[in-house]
């Protein structure tokens, strides 16, 4: 179905790995997108028009998308000096695609609502490949009536949009999903290093796992490429994965729920950070584990000696 983009004014703050890809999808659908990012060249690389300031972006937009590293940055962009609130008007919609603490999200929702601004927290899943293909899964918190009005915005970027409930529910769902993602990636990396040391055929092992009870997203969609030396660059870094797991631990502690399985991914991605992989895609956690296993690399095209 064609997207009706007539008169739509979109602003985008944070045009990094995911934000840049999403921006290009919106531009490809015929939407005019104005971007703001403190990193030189980030807006131009995504193909968006560059705002001279955050305030100018807000004043020239009906919907502002955020794709930022963490709650601290989101709070500064929204409520800090010269932030969104300083230029916002009633009727503006802010769609936060970041992975943030739900409590922070709920506070910002209340503060923005006092100025007549609607704040939707929209967790995204699917990684860089889904962002490029426009097949992301979105999980949204906030007023469903406003969410339903944004089909023109979400159609170019997402295959599925789920309303999860009140403000904060989208980011809550995102944290829960990301934790499972971290567990499966770290655990599969560990298994694949062991399999390499055992001399198993890694492609055959993945075929077995993917038809058995150990199947998960990492075995299906990541490691078939990783064992060929393709780390699927462009997605969540090890540092951000560590941040997300820590956010999950804080969140479930506040709920009074256990987090007994968090130690594994915190240790694995923490190891990756300490060994110099912090800014690399989180799939390289397998190389960090390989380093401490004697310089193991899954691909035969890579060095296996530390």
**Start-to-end C-alpha separation, the chain:** 53
DSSP 218: I
Known active-site residue 174 = yes
What distance in Å separates the CA atoms of residue 93 and residue 273, rounded to the nearest whole number?
A: 36
What distance in Å separates the CA atoms of residue 182 and residue 264, rounded to the nearest whole number?
A: 9
What distance in Å separates the CA atoms of residue 178 and residue 275, rounded to the nearest whole number?
A: 22
List 65's β-bridge partners, or say none. Answer: 12, 95
Which residues, including other chains, have CB under 8 Å from residue 297's CB and lie 6 or more apart? 196, 287, 290, 303, 304
**Residue among 174, 196, 197, 243 flagged as catalytic:** 174
Decide if 15 contacts 43 (C-beta within 8 A).
yes
> Cα separations (Å) of 173 from 11, 36, 102, 155, 168?
25, 27, 9, 21, 9
HSE-up of residue 51 (Cα within 13 Å, Cβ side) = 24
DSSP per residue, 238-300: HHHHHHHHHHHHHHHHHHT---TT-HHHHHHHHHHIIIIITTSBGGGHHHHHHHHTTS--SST
Cα 246 versus chain centre, distance = 15
What's the per-residue H, E or C state across 11-78?
EEECCCHHHHHHHHHHHHCCCEEEEECCCCCHHHHHCCEECCCHHHHHHCCCEEEECCCCHHHHHHHH
Residues annotated as part of the active site? 174
């Amino acid at each position: 179905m064609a997207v009706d983009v007539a008169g739509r004014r979109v602003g985008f703050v944070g045009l990094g790995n995911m934000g840049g890809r999403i921006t290009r999808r919106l531009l490809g659908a015929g939407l005019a997108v104005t971007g703001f990012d403190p990193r030189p060249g980030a807006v131009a690389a995504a193909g968006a028009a560059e705002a001279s300031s955050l305030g100018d972006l807000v004043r020239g937009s009906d919907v502002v998308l955020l794709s930022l590293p963490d709650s601290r940055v989101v709070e500064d962009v929204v409520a800090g000096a010269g932030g969104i609130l300083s230029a916002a008007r009633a009727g503006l919609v802010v769609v936060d695609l970041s992975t943030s603490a739900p409590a922070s999200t709920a506070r910002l929702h209340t503060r923005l609502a006092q100025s007549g601004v609607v704040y939707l927290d929209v967790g995204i899943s699917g990684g860089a490949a889904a962002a490029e293909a426009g097949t992301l899964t979105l999980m949204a918190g906030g007023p469903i009536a406003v969410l339903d009005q944004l089909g023109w915005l979400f159609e170019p970027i997402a295959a599925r949009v789920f309303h999860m409930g009140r403000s904060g529910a989208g980011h809550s769902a995102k944290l829960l999903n990301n934790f499972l993602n971290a567990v499966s990636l770290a655990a599969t990396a560990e298994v694949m290093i062991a399999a390499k040391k055992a001399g198993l055929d890694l492609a055959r092992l993945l075929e077995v796992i993917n038809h058995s009870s150990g199947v998960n997203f990492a075995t299906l969609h990541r490691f078939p490429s990783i064992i060929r030396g393709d780390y699927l660059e462009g997605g969540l870094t090890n540092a951000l994965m560590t941040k997300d797991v820590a956010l999950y631990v804080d969140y479930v502690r506040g709920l009074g729920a256990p987090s007994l399985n968090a130690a594994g991914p915190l240790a694995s991605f923490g190891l990756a950070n300490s060994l110099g992989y912090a800014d690399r895609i989180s799939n390289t956690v397998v190389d960090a584990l390989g380093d401490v296993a004697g310089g193991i690399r899954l691909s035969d095209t890579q060095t296996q000696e530390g």
